[in-house]
Structure 1
Amino acid sequence: MHIQELSVDDHIPQIKPFMDQFNSNQELALPPYDRVHFSLAAYEGEQYIGGVVGSMVWGLLYIQLLAVDHVYRGKGIGADLLQAIEDQARQQGAKVSELTTMSWQAPHFYMKYGYTIFGEIHDIPIEGQTKYYMKKNLLSSTQS
């Protein structure tokens, strides 16, 4: 045996059948692993001012990126983008949303809109900083 590096694009098609076969032997009656992508952009006239990107599998929305141009922050655009991706995901059957954020980024923003911290890694990427894992129940939540 030897171990070598492969590109992700070449590797996923080779490794995925192993996981699919393992999962199918678990007798869990899992639904298909169909990923739905979301990509929403906010514009002021013709100018791009922010956006949100995420994906959903098995009823779990994962918000990968949400950012607003610094000139437009504090005007509710981030909240509108967050609400829009959650609404689209709910329409596709999402039950829960999850994301990660850093201590210097937006944990309080997400908490304001119903997210709770379910995990933390301290001193990442440097001492005194924290990575937060956050989630929100999309079935019973309402916008703050």
Structure 2
Amino acid sequence: MTKLAQLDPTELDDYLSTLFTQQLRENAIDYPHEIAETVAIGAYDQDQLVGGLLMNRRYDHLYISRLAVDPAYRGHRLGTQLIEAAEQWARQHHVLNITLSTRDYQAVGFYQKAGFEIYGKVADLPFRGVTTVYFVKRLIA
């Protein structure tokens, strides 16, 4: 009989990765690029970090997990420059889609202005009274 138990996340991730790799092989999918990586791009004023973004690439998809700019530097196009740098990196690495999410009180208009399209909204996520908005930008037609 099987049982459920909590375990080390790294151990489970390694095991699940082997299962997914096996699925790719069984379905004759030969993926020529690195499967996953995390990329960080920082915005600096002299030597001081004043903003940045974290991205996770998985296959031909890029997910921007975090993007923020120090309040003192907002309005100087740093956010736009970071998005442009992410898109440039994505194109160089043959990414088809970039996705991200934000909360309704954060940067919805900013991402729309940057060319991202809303593909979903979930109310009361991550907590009551807040809506999470999901965006996608397709890079290759």
**Fold shared, TM-score > 0.5 on shorter chain:** yes
Q: Post-superposition shift, 1:30?
A: 4.5
Q: CA RMSD in A?
A: 1.7
Q: Could you say what secondary structure the match of 2:19 adopts? A: helix
Q: Equivalents in 1 of 2:37, 2:125: separation in Å?
A: 30
Query: 3-state DSSP class of the match of 1:14?
Result: helix
Match of 1:31 in 2: 31
Q: What corresponds to 2:71 in structure 1?
A: 70
Structure 2: where are the runs of 5+ without partners? none
Tell me what 2:49 maps to: 48
Counterpart of 2:97? 96
Q: Distance in 2 between matches of 1:118 and 1:132?
A: 8
Which residue pairs with 2:16 in the alignment? 15
Q: Secondary structure at the match of 2:91?
A: helix
Q: Report 1:87-126 matches (<5 A).
A: 87-126=88-127
CA distance in 2, matches of 1:57, 1:10: 19
Question: Contact 1:38–1:85 at 8 Å: present in 2 too?
Answer: no
Structure 1 gaps, min length 5: none
Kindly provide the CA deviation profile for residues 83-110 of structure 1, in whole angstroms up to 9, marking residues without a partner as x. Answer: 0011011111112110111111111110
Q: Which secondary structure state, in structure 2, belongs to the residue aligned with residue 110 of structure 1?
A: helix
Structure 1 pair 7/93, CA: closer, same or farther in 2 (3 Å)?
same
Distance in structure 2 (CA, Å) of the matches to 1:64 and 1:97: 11
**For residues 53 and 125 of structure 1, what CA distance do their matches in structure 2 show?**
20
